[in-house]
Structure 1
Amino acid sequence: MADAQVGSDRYRQGMVTRRKVLGEAHVDRAQAAATAFDQPFQELITEAAWGAVWSRPAWTLRERSMVTIALLAALGQDDEVAMHVRATANTGATREDVCEALLHVAIYAGVPAANHAIKIAKRVFQEMDAGSAAEGQTGR
């Protein structure tokens, strides 16, 4: 379903924020993969998570990014942790920020959860670095 087909202002704002945080390519892939079965879910997360929460002005995208990574790590949501670590390239959260968030996870949610999330973050950062290096070589 195209973005313009959903009518609420909150959905439209959510889509803007979602694209800003996760990137055009990621959101385009998610939209293209949506089926009649999961389309209502895609609309819900775009409107509620991205439009109602991530779009609020009190916190920056960087701050929301750090909190989100910590919460996802505490909950053991590996795929979501990886996706949001990738999104730090768009939110302004630094690797130091991610490290600090995961130190909080260790204390408040447990060392095993933080240890696992640190492994995920290290892998994602290595992939991001490899992608940046490859882009630099092809851009000559």
Structure 2
Amino acid sequence: MNNDNKKSAIQKMLGDFAPKLVEYTDNVLFGDVWEGKELSPRDRSLITVAALVAGEHNGQLKYHLGRAKDNGLTETELVGVITHLAFYTGWPRAMTAIMIAKEMFESTE
């Protein structure tokens, strides 16, 4: 097997450029944090999507919406989360997030 096939997506994108950030991403964030037993992957995804919408971190939202679906959240639930957040984080943030979600969900159909 080719060594590139064993690399994570972040290693392929940034491994040579920011190796320490890649190491933290793979080992700490997606290793220790995401694999913790305190919360289910579904709950972690729900929290992560909400935090990304609230913080207007739109660059990471598409990836985490896909991960949320992989972790058991439905498109209907994710639309509901974003709609709910409109009243707590601001309408513009929710509208931006819902457009990202719409585009992402339509591209995976």
| Uncovered stretches (5+) of structure 2, i.e. residues with no partner | none
Write the letter of the residue equivalent to 1:52: D
| Alignment of structure 1 residues 35-54 onto 2, 5 Å | 35-54=15-34
**Could you give the per-residue CA deviations for residues 5-33 of structure 1, whole angstroms, max 9, x where no partner exists?**
xxxxxxxxxxxxxxxxxxx99x6442223
Distance 1:81 1:51 in 2: 20
Distance 2:77 2:41 in 1: 12
| Uncovered stretches (5+) of structure 1, i.e. residues with no partner | 3-23, 130-140
| Paired-residue identity, % | 26
**Could you give the per-residue CA deviations for residues 80-101 of structure 1, whole angstroms, max 9, x where no partner exists?**
1111112233211111221222
- Matched with 2:86 is 106
Q: Normalising by the residue count of structure 2, what TM-score does the alignment of the two structures yield?
A: 0.82
Distance 1:35 1:60, change over 3 A: closer
In 2, are the aligned partners of 1:86 and 1:128 still within 8 Å (CA)?
A: no
1:66 aligned to which of 46, 50, 53 = 46
**Could you give the per-residue CA deviations for residues 96-135 of structure 1, whole angstroms, max 9, x where no partner exists?**
2212221332122111111110010010000010xxxxxx
* Deviation for aligned residue 1:47: 2.4
In 2, are the aligned partners of 1:67 and 1:101 still within 8 Å (CA)?
A: no
RMSD: 2.2
Where in structure 1 do 4 or more consecutive aligned residues deviate above 6 Å?
none
Q: Which of the two has higher C-alpha Rg?
A: 1
Write the letter of the residue equivalent to 1:126: E
